[in-house]
Structure 1
């Protein structure tokens, strides 16, 4: 939720709905990526209605990516918290884009704000881990890269067979 009509706490870290505070979306997420993640969150919430608890991890991934769950986005994250948010962002964006690929920089931009470039080594490392788990497939030139550690230059991430949808 990031509409201008929503009441926020003075520090901007929470929104207030019916007197209850909820963590606000990370304000440093670029608008196009934020919009994609919000659409994925809405899709995942609808799936909870039809699939029940099986779809709750999709909601969780989208909320972690948006900064609404996990470590507070306004505080310096731990290494584990940063990696968890990057992985959740990759999964959420791939679910949203369905058959399209994403760039590791998309996840870095969501998590890192203006310092996203500093996160690229970590984002690529998280992508390698997800590749090993078959959650994503690392590609170059539209072709699967067997060992992402050997990849030089830009890579793309496609949904792997273990990415739950």
Structure 2
């Protein structure tokens, strides 16, 4: 399997959050699974990093328990929602 590019990861993340809607979230694993149904776990860090960049660009929020957080410093699972 060829690793997806950051642009491909970004595209999948944005597509997922847009389809889900502004008040709903997606798990980064959903994007990883969409990109690689087998071996998706290996993509999780790349997907998280791209989610952080999308948050930096003001396109999404990284959340925990419904509250916006800095994903880079948050401990535990995160979710991604359209800003």
Note the alpha carbon deviations across 1:83-110, whole angstroms, 9 max, x for none: 2111111111111111311011111001
Matched residues in 2 for 1:94 and 1:149: separation?
19
Q: Which has the larger radius of gyration?
A: 1
Structure richer in helix, relative to its length: 1
Equivalences, count: 82
Asked if structure 2 preserves the Cα contact closer than 8 Å seen for 1:83 and 1:126, the reply is yes
Matched residues in 1 for 2:36 and 2:75: separation?
22
Asked if structure 2 preserves the Cα contact closer than 8 Å seen for 1:82 and 1:111, the reply is no
Q: In angstroms, what is the RMSD of aligned CA positions?
A: 1.3
Q: Which gives a bigger RCO, structure 1 or 2 (Cα 8 Å, sep 6+)?
A: 2
Stretches of 4+ moved more than 3 A in 1? Answer: none
* TM superposition score normalised by structure 1: 0.47
Asked if structure 2 preserves the Cα contact closer than 8 Å seen for 1:108 and 1:116, the reply is yes
* Paired position in structure 1 for 2:55: 131
Which runs of 5 or more structure 2 residues have no equivalent in the other structure?
none
Equivalent residue for 2:37, pick from 95, 113, 138: 113
